[in-house]
Amino acid sequence: MPHIIPMQPVRHLPRAIAFYEQLGFTVEDRRDDWGWAKLRWGDCRVMLDQSINVNPDTPRNAVLYLYPGDIDAFHVQARANGLDVPDLDTTFYGMREFRIDDPDGNRLWIGQVGGAEGT
């Protein structure tokens, strides 16, 4: 298997795309008639899909862990793009990270081992 692309359930495709674009993803492919899009960030991909949101009132349980090259710069850019992100924290397992939810409750953990100054 050469790669895997996670698919996130979303309620409103344009709102979800706007959120992920604020993180730095770009739209690679989009089918509004399907309620589906594939987004890209470097070599990484994620799909957003309205059709898999079978129970729209249930909480989301998906988690994506994103690994930017420079967590400090990424954190500053996410805030500059208008996202309400918490301060960076260094975890007991050695990751410098922050955690946010997308508009549909899908959890994103964003981190780097030791952060920029630890690499």
Residue-number span of the structural domain to which 87 is assigned:
7-53+60-118
DSSP at 27: E
Examine the pLDDT at 57 and tell me if it is beyond 50: yes
Specify the CATH number for the domain of residue 102: 3.10.180.10
The DSSP secondary structure of 29-94, one letter per residue, reads: EEETTTTEEEEEETTEEEEEESTT-SSTTSPP--EEEE--S-HHHHHHHHHHTT---PPPEE-TTS
Nearest to 74 by CA among 108, 48, 104, 51: 108
Q: Is residue 39 part of a domain?
A: yes
Task: Reply yes or no on whether the pLDDT at 54 is more than 70.
Answer: no
Higher pLDDT, 88 or 56: 88
Whether 97 is covered by a domain: the verdict is yes
Instruction: Count structural domains, the chain.
Output: 1
Read off the pTM. Answer: 0.81
Would 1 be classed as within a structural domain?
no
Beta bridge partner(s), residue 110: 66, 98
Please check whether residue 81 lies inside any domain of the structure: yes
Asked if the structure places residue 89 within a domain, the reply is yes
Residue 118: what pLDDT? 43
Residue 103 lies in a domain: yes
Q: Is residue 2 part of a domain?
A: no
